[in-house]
Chain A
Amino acid sequence: TQLLEQSPQFLSIQEGENLTVYCNSSSVFSSLQWYRQEPGEGPVLLVTVVTGGEVKKLKRLTFQFGDARKDSSLHITAAQPGDTGLYLCAGTNTGNQFYFGTGTSLTVIP
């Protein structure tokens, strides 16, 4: 069961454009993570957010955790072809296992 809905499901943009990916749920999470996955590989952790309203920056990526800890967003500034991949959010409310979102497939065209 996917508790986390991501939007959009697919995104194709030109190099240099900005984009935002959303991760929404009706459940409250104690922490939420974002991963990036390339074809044929496992997901790789980008960031963990644990506090409602928290904002974290990783170079051109900005992550925000919603005040109510039910949603999150990922904003990429000046996208590059190397940003291409499947972006996944994952949340937990027990700390025991994370449930992953439906995924956003991003293609950045040179």
Chain B
Amino acid sequence: DTGVSQDPRHKITKRGQNVTFRCDPISEHNRLYWYRQTLGQGPEFLTYFQNEAQLEKSRLLSDRFSAERPKGSFSTLEIQRTEQGDSAMYLCASSLSGREVAGYTFGSGTRLTVV
């Protein structure tokens, strides 16, 4: 297993466009998390899945954001009608439920720039 993969690594988009990011977690991990991080700050929790079920969404996740994990494996995060304030690093992480002490394994992130 090569760890958590995120695609693309970088995305530049014009304001108002839609973007979609993909995350492939570690295969045996049943939990998948999305975080957003701005420069020099800690990651902010957006949402998480256990298998295919989305169990929690942050109030930060506006109606323009939607996440899916249709088969309990990879996940996508879509942002509709992007705004400049959406510019950030979007991090995906995975873990195994009941093994939280082992921590999250993070991907390298997708850096979004909205111009």
Contacts and interface: CB of A to CB of B under 8 A. Distances in A.
For this complex, into which size category does the number of interface residues on chain A fall? 20 to 34
For this complex, into which size category does the number of interface residues on chain B fall? 20 to 34
B41 to A, nearest CB: 6
Interface of B: 4, 33, 35, 40-45, 48, 55-56, 91, 93, 100-109, 111
Contacts, number: 65
Contacts of B93: 42
A51 B60 CA distance: 31
Contact of A100 (B40, B42, B102): B42
B94 to A, nearest CB: 11
Contact of A96 (B55, B91, B111): B55
A22 B96 CA distance: 28
Contacts of B103: 33, 35, 45, 48
Interface stretch (A13-21, A69-77, A101-109): A101-109
Interface string A54-98: 000000000000000000000000000000001010101001111
A45 B43 CA distance: 14
A106 B78 CA distance: 33
A103 B33 contact: no
B43 A88 contact: yes
Find the residue from A50, A92, A98, A101 having the highest chain B CB count within 10 A. Answer: A98
Nearest to A9: B40
A2 B44 CA distance: 8
A24 to B, nearest CB: 13
B57 to A, nearest CB: 11
Interface in A1-58: 2, 4, 6, 9, 31, 33, 35, 40-45, 48, 50
